[in-house]
Amino acid sequence: MHFLADVFVPCEACAGKRFQKSILSVLFQGKNVDQILAMTVTEAIAFFSQTPAVVKPLSILEKTGLGYLRLGQPTLTLSGGEGQRLKLASELASSQTVNQLYIFDEPTTGLHEHDIGYLMRALDQLLARGHSVLVIEHHMELIRLADWVIDLGPEGGDGGGSVVWQGSVRGLLDCDSSHTGRCLNAYLHKTGLKILADEPSYLGQG
């Protein structure tokens, strides 16, 4: 069964701007609401620099690597990783004090290599608040920075389903039966980076 891609048709009344002319005639610092919604998060932070109540939540979005999103961008256009980071930003902006378990499924999807650090710092903020974070991920940089790794395999699909390794990243690097470990070793050799966590595992090699 095949489905056509979504089709968007501009409204004849507002030309896709979603506001009547009387609303668009109202300006704030020379910009109308349509122009403001067309700004990226990063651009909006600069535009509203004198309005802390607006800058604060936008800064959290930028810190989770979402500075490129436009204020009026429909959530339906976001990737799965972007949607998760948007939820992460919402949690960081809340005053939730009860310890929570957060589960993320490949949050690096759609994220530029340069912005991985922003995501990791955001996750660290959750940990600093006493929460726990579980991430399902294939990205080598995020695995490199993990505190604890559970590697499933040894293959994909029907050839997987077993715990190949459970423990520190150092132990994963020494696990000969782990494809992830070999890929991570190659990644570290190529980039010259080192692992963040180097604590001994409580469990032996799987």
Amino acid at residue number 119: L
- The pLDDT tens digits for 169-189 are 999 999 999 999 999 999 999
By DSSP bridging, strand 149-153 and strand 162-167 are antiparallel
**pLDDT band at residue 202, thresholds of 50, 70 and 90?**
very low
Residue ranges per structural domain of the chain: 138-206
Distance of CA 57 to the CA centre of its chain: 16
* Other beta carbons within 10 Å of 76: 7
Predicted structure pTM score? 0.72
φ/ψ region of 172 (left if φ > 0, alpha if ψ in -120 to 50, else beta) reads: alpha
For CA atoms 55, 56, 57, 61, the dihedral sign is positive
Amino acid at residue number 64: T
